[in-house]
Chains A and B, each alone.
Chain A
Amino acid sequence: MVKDQFGMVGLLTFIRAAETDPNLVSLALGQDLTALGLNLNSPENLYPNFGGPWAEHPCRPQDIDYHIPPEYLINCGIREKLAQIKLTKYKDDLLFYMFYTNTGELMQLAAAAELYTREWRYHMEEKVWITQAPGLGAVEKTSTYERGTYYFFDAQNWRKVPKEFHLDYSKLENRPTLPTQY
């Protein structure tokens, strides 16, 4: 057989190195390209909201500049005159909007904390917000779970939907905490 790195033994060296030193073979064995934050099965083009070479996710709607009349842009001259953002003053659906559009941002956490205050609970497995449905309390309640009909917020159709749940308390998120500096 070929003795140097240009035969099968050379390839075998790489294959064996992969077990001990994966960093050594990142080029030879490559990486899972479906895990780079791009939806490669998307029927639409990816470039219009491509977040850039270092982005783990595509752009969100608010990240993409659209050419709008300049007067629509908030001028720094009036920036201070605009009301501060106060989540406590907003209705639930605006809080959900903040939660679902500001992914990866402080705003998402802040919206979650406010929703929690309003007795919504985030189910960490189902990845939905749930709250009591008035008059439809739990039909079964123990120290670790309760079962019954509750409202969950359906982000696809943007409305509250009643649904039967078996709520395992360990799966409900505790009160979200904001980073100390905020």
Chain B
Amino acid sequence: YEDPPQLLEKTEFLLREWVSIYHSTTCNKDPSKAFSVFVHQMNCHGILKTDDLITRFFRLSTQMVVELCYRMLPEVANASSVRTKVFHTLDAYVKLIALLVKHSGDSSNASTKINLLNKVLGIVAGVLLQDHESHQLDFHQLPYHRVFIMLFLELNAPEPILEAINYQILTAFCHTLHILRPAKSPGFSYAWLELVSHRVFIGRMLAQTPQQKGWGFYAQLLIDLFKYLAPFLRNAELAKPVTLLYKGTLRVLLVLLHDFPEFLCDYHYGFCDVIPPNCIQMRNLILSAFPRNMRLPDPFTPNLKVDMLSEISMAPRVLTNFASHIQPIQFKKDLDTYLKARAPVTYLHELNSNLVMQSEAGMRYNIPLMNALVLYVGTQAINYIRNKGLTPNMSTIAHSSHMDIFQNLAVGLDTEGRYLFLNAIANQLRYPNSHTHYFSCTLLYLFAEANTEAIQEQITRVLLERLIVNRPHPWGLLITFIELIKNPTYKFWNHEFVHCAPEIEKLFESVARSCM
């Protein structure tokens, strides 16, 4: 508002001037000389006099290049040559931003550069959100996608000035992408996923940034994506736009599974917390990740002694503070009291009602709370058993406050609640580690000690639905299921639900054959 008089005209003049300079052969030969001449012109027009004027200049410039795109849009859609024409202006604008960021303040002063970058990214994001709001279904992602990706590539050029501030550059882009997450700008969601999964962005965030300092940011962006997809994935039938975004997400996760499995291992909890329970293959993909230096024994090895594996006693890294998800505080306190004293027994009766959620329609249970409770009680149980100098196995996990809670949930919850509870346990069946081992024993123990066949049927359901889906399958899932169907202790084959239909029976037999 209240742009100074003539600012719009000056901005348009300067932008046109820069575009022609940028594409001139002189600039091609010596960009910095051409740039310094142009900065002088900006100075003469007073654009660089105050922070406010610079901000206004960038907002007006961004709006202008966006308007140019909208004017040419009808043609852009169908001819790459016209796209090139639009990029003619956009790329020049990006180059101007990159040069201003690189050369603002003296070379040692990173904050001037980063402040300017954050300012410009914020302005472009603001113009996008405003445009998204006003254009609605006519919103076009093209200009914003182009500005963000070309600016990112420019600022990730292997130049000393930029390398010195690369972490701050990445942080600035992650903040912007979080502001523009699909839930906030769904019309930008496809371009957003292109940006987040661009090979240079992945490389910088997950491979080149030292001490994995980019991992947390990248995990947050993926959680933004899963949260956005969740309501659409909860339905059985996927509409085309959702299928497109879902399939694109699978491709990105496959690249991460192949190149950065440790990243998926570390953040699996946060991801599975927001992925809907019926999204089985995508969740399996995340849970199948295992450290590259680990060799997984073939789950079908006859008489495989899982508890003899060296890694089975090692606790996996879980970079989500799941204990803090157990809310409200009093609930957590009562839980800790019970875990410690195995009293009062009344706590067990109140426990289940805390897991029911009134608010969100279609979501009767508080799944994040369920997941956090299961993992918290399980990790407490492992420590408790270890502190007694024992290791978790089918007998040491029994008759404890921890197992009281699990059995209470198994018995007391309705079928939906029990399904979600068993899913929370099955989400811990991954590569050989102490969590996989403990929760595998717990699932088998709950099956063996079940007081109704419904519990056994639902344990079987949760395992089977994760097995019949296309690969990949987590190692911990396979060894648990094989133990269940092989070990006569569980009398698995005697149950009616195993023979309830020819397809089901055939499935079990095919898995059994691969085991034998």
Measured CB to CB, the residues of A under 8 A from B are: 1-2, 4, 6-12, 14-16, 23-33, 36-38, 40, 42, 45-50, 52-55, 59, 64-65, 67, 70-71, 73, 75-78
Q: B299 to chain A: which residues have CB within 8 Å?
A: none
Chain B, Cβ-Cβ closest to A47: B202
Q: Are B197 and A24 in contact (CB under 8 A)?
A: no
Q: Please list the residues of chain B having a beta carbon within 8 angstroms of any beta carbon in chain A.
A: 23-25, 28-29, 31, 88, 153, 157-158, 190, 193-194, 197-199, 202-203, 206-207, 233, 236-238, 243-244, 247-252, 254-255, 258-259, 278-282, 284-285, 415-416, 418-419, 453-454, 457-458, 460-461, 464-465, 468-472, 496-497, 500-501, 503-504, 507
Is B28 a contact of A53 with CB atoms below 8 Å?
no
Q: Which of A1, A12, A65 contacts B496 (CB 8 A)?
A: A1
Q: SS class of chain A's interface: helix, strand, loop or mixed?
A: loop
Asked whether A2 lies within 8 Å of B500 as measured between CB atoms, the reply is no
Closest chain B residue to A34 by CB distance? B471
**A75 near B25: Cβ-Cβ < 8 Å:** yes
Q: How far in angstroms is the closest Cβ of chain A from B123? A: 25
Residues of B contacting A: mostly: helix
Q: How far is the CA of A25 from the CA of B465 in the complex (A)?
A: 12
A33 in contact with B285 (CB, 8 Å)? yes
A33: B residues at CB distance < 8 A: 250, 254, 281, 285, 470-472
Which of B28, B198, B454 is within 8 Å of A2, CB to CB? B454
Given A26-B243, A30-B470, A53:B501 Cβ within 8 A: no
Chain B contacts of A12 at CB under 8 A? Answer: 500-501, 503-504
Q: Which 7 pairs show the lowest CB-CB distances between chains A and B?
A: A53-B248, A30-B281, A30-B470, A6-B419, A6-B415, A75-B28, A30-B469
The answer to whether A28 and B278 touch across the interface, beta carbons within 8 angstroms, is yes
CB distance from A140 to the nearest CB of B (A): 48
- Which among A2, A38, A46, A78 is the interface contact of B457 at CB below 8 angstroms? A2
A157→B233 CA distance, assembly (Å) = 48
* A54:B238 contact, CB within 8 angstroms: no
Contacts A11-B461, A31-B470, A53-B252 supplied; 4 other A-B pairs, CB < 8 Å: A8-B464, A12-B503, A27-B233, A31-B250
**Complex: chain B residue closest to A44, CB-CB:** B259
Residues of A within 8 A of B202 (CB): 47, 50
CA of A55 to CA of B244 in the docked complex: distance in angstroms? 11
Once A6-B419, A11-B461 are accepted as A-B contacts, the answer to whether A46 and B236 lie under 8 Å apart by CB is no
Asked whether, in the complex, the Cβ of A40 is within 8 Å of the Cβ of B457, the reply is: no
Interchain CB contact under 8 A, B158 and A29: no
**Roughly how many angstroms separate A11 CA and B236 CA in the complex, as a whole number?**
12
Residue of A nearest to B420 (CB): A6
Partner of A36, one of B244, B251, B416: B251
